[in-house]
Structure 1
């Protein structure tokens, strides 16, 4: 029996000719990632190992993004621990205020991940890099500590689900709508500890931003990782960002998939996930009059330049509804600068929105947009659990940048098709 993309990458990094689902392997790593919340725990565990250096100072990355600029004393102390460790270990890829961004947008932008890599990160949305044809997955801080010490990690080889894409997306429909549609079909445990492998002729209609978004939310379906077949668009992105030479792994014709999910992109509609799970996905045929208090456009899921462009197209020349707070968060400093040069920030500010420095802030209920009791937010983030963005009696609705922008203008959950008709 042949192997999937994920299995081929894991076999190569385990020094094996082949691996099979369920097998336990020790695999070498190309990158180990942590952030300002998860790294301090890993650093404390690393100290217990008695190591005086990491396995490779070029293959460890720490990104200060969740509570940066620091929101309080605890956040400042967390970052201080990371700064000190990275200075002591001479970590090449340490990103802080002024040269930072939301980690899962920043690392591909910096060219730190390429096709064929094996990457772990102490953050569940590390699966984002599968958009580049890499195996990437989230781990706990203890695993991060051991990986920083030896450059390896244990894995149970996952079985796989094939997502066969056909057709092309219609205007104002994006990768966020696609992944919400998929999670709505299979549920939040529909791909539990499996690799979600995306391919098919419809792949050509998806931008890299679409692919990053879809891979980012594979974890919301319970997947071990999400991964896309590598095409010319992928290779162009990798070359354009100065990443290492890619190693392209395609699935074997006889690869063993638990199931194949067929998605016709031309049938995908603007989609919103209602509280309190990403699987509560609805299209506008099933959405009534839902008034909102806040809109957030940003995060590791949808804070890229293309996301801001999609929102700005809808908001240009219009003003947000009275009583609605709109927060726009470019995912990286580079995205912020490009958005400024393109005039997008002017569009947002003139529309009545505020623009924040890059941060994860409101996505995890940290700061920069906390919800009060009874408030509702439409957000381009990735989770809408109880209390995710503030009070446990607030509500979070997940949507694309286009849908979020349209909703900001009307003060209720609104399809971009309605606003742009």
Structure 2
């Protein structure tokens, strides 16, 4: 199946609680959303693990992240993880296990949890991990009923007397639409306080290319149009996501809105193709990194955001929030 591994593996039921996964990509930490231990390694380490079937880790310390409350409408996992990275910095959890807990967890969809764990590495974490709850189990049952029914998995929980290097508390009701300005994911701002014109919007990636992300973008684009002179590129994260979006008419909504639609790919996220930035250009992107030269020319700029801010920015031609978009007639 064509697409991005961090979208394909969870969506096809290939990851379960208690699994240990490594991948030659730092965003392998995505799968912690399903109660697995997953982390990125170097290509040589991965090759040795594939050849031998074993690998070695230094056991990390842990950072507890307590989530309280419920997010405001259209606040997503991307806003939450950017908010956290802004609080603790790009090295705030260096080689530590980022463990999420609290009553706020139940208010987060699997898509939001996958996005949050995907970016655990952006604050230096070895891995990110969520507790397994009914939302997790329903997700797994739907995608791999055979393994789910066989009980071929193990749910781990933190010991009651577990020690943590530090504890961070986030009230989800207070998390705003959040963006990360150049050139670090920790350079965060309330999106409403940013007024910058842009040249491009990118919707997709292993961070925000899941069906739920694409469906939300289509919902917000319906009846609206991309600002004249601006490029908006929509890249579903897998062939399955692409086909479902096609069958449900979501791609038609993007086409009507003036977006460019790509087949599944990482594309411009790492400066590959399909939206590489030129000198002086600025992009609002639902990807995970905004380092110097990340998406093209060293004098271009990337602003990280969630789906709602990306759509609003595409419509208004500047960093914007969905409440700032004009109402749709009819």
Indicate whether the TM-score tops 0.5: yes
Cα deviation digits, residues 5-47 of structure 1 (max 9, x gap)? xxxxxxxxxxxxxxxxxxxxxxxxxxxxxxxxxxxxxxxxxxx
Unaligned runs of 5+ residues in structure 2 are: none
Does the 8 Å contact 2:177/2:192 carry over to 1? no
Cα deviation digits, residues 27-72 of structure 1 (max 9, x gap)? xxxxxxxxxxxxxxxxxxxxxxxxxxxxxxxxxxxxxxxxxxxxxx
Kindly state the Cα deviation for residue 285 of structure 1 after the two structures are TM-superposed. Answer: 4.7
Kindly state the Cα deviation for residue 340 of structure 1 after the two structures are TM-superposed. Answer: 1.3
Does the 8 Å contact 2:61/2:164 carry over to 1? yes
Distance in 2 (alpha carbons) for counterparts of 1:401 and 1:145: 35
* 1:301 aligns to 2:230 (yes or no): no
Question: Following superposition of structure 1 onto structure 2, how do residues 32-47 of structure 1 map, counting pairs within 5 Å?
Answer: none
Corresponding residue number in structure 1 for 2:221? 315
Cα deviation digits, residues 251-308 of structure 1 (max 9, x gap)? 1111111111111111111000000000001003531x20000000000000011111
Unaligned runs of 5+ residues in structure 1 are: 1-98
Distance in 1 (alpha carbons) for counterparts of 2:64 and 2:192: 28
Corresponding residue number in structure 2 for 1:109? 11
Does the 8 Å contact 1:172/1:417 carry over to 2? no
* 1:274 aligns to 2:181 (yes or no): yes
- Which of these residues, 282, 293, 308, is aligned with residue 387 of structure 1? 293
Corresponding residue number in structure 2 for 1:364? 270
Does the 8 Å contact 1:314/1:420 carry over to 2? no
Count residues with an aligned counterpart: 322
Distance in 1 (alpha carbons) for counterparts of 2:91 and 2:274: 30
Q: Secondary structure at the match of 2:55?
A: strand
Q: Secondary structure at the match of 1:145?
A: helix
Q: Which has the larger radius of gyration?
A: 1
Q: Secondary structure at the match of 1:377?
A: strand
Question: Following superposition of structure 1 onto structure 2, how do residues 4-403 of structure 1 map, counting pairs within 5 Å?
Answer: 99-242=1-144, 244=147, 245-287=152-194, 289-403=195-309
Distance in 1 (alpha carbons) for counterparts of 2:58 and 2:104: 30
Query: Structure 2 length as normaliser, TM-score?
Result: 0.96
Q: Secondary structure at the match of 1:152?
A: coil
Does the 8 Å contact 2:280/2:301 carry over to 1? yes
Kindly state the Cα deviation for residue 418 of structure 1 after the two structures are TM-superposed. Answer: 1.7
Distance in 1 (alpha carbons) for counterparts of 2:240 and 2:101: 30
Distance in 2 (alpha carbons) for counterparts of 1:420 and 1:171: 17
Does the 8 Å contact 1:380/1:401 carry over to 2? yes
Distance in 1 (alpha carbons) for counterparts of 2:192 and 2:231: 26
Structure 1 pair 391–150 and aligned structure 2 pair: CA distance change class (3 A) = same
Q: Secondary structure at the match of 2:57?
A: strand
Q: Secondary structure at the match of 1:405?
A: helix
Distance in 2 (alpha carbons) for counterparts of 1:266 and 1:320: 30
Distance in 2 (alpha carbons) for counterparts of 1:174 and 1:272: 12
CA-atom RMSD, angstroms?
Answer: 1.0
Runs of 4+ in 1 over 3 A off after TM superposition: none
Does the 8 Å contact 1:270/1:416 carry over to 2? no
Kindly state the Cα deviation for residue 343 of structure 1 after the two structures are TM-superposed. Answer: 1.3
Q: Secondary structure at the match of 1:119?
A: strand
Cα deviation digits, residues 52-93 of structure 1 (max 9, x gap)? xxxxxxxxxxxxxxxxxxxxxxxxxxxxxxxxxxxxxxxxxx
Q: Secondary structure at the match of 1:235?
A: helix
Structure 1 pair 174–109 and aligned structure 2 pair: CA distance change class (3 A) = same
Distance in 2 (alpha carbons) for counterparts of 1:326 and 1:181: 25
Does the 8 Å contact 2:192/2:321 carry over to 1? no
- Which of these residues, 312, 317, 327, is aligned with residue 411 of structure 1? 317
Does the 8 Å contact 2:225/2:257 carry over to 1? yes
Kindly state the Cα deviation for residue 417 of structure 1 after the two structures are TM-superposed. Answer: 2.3
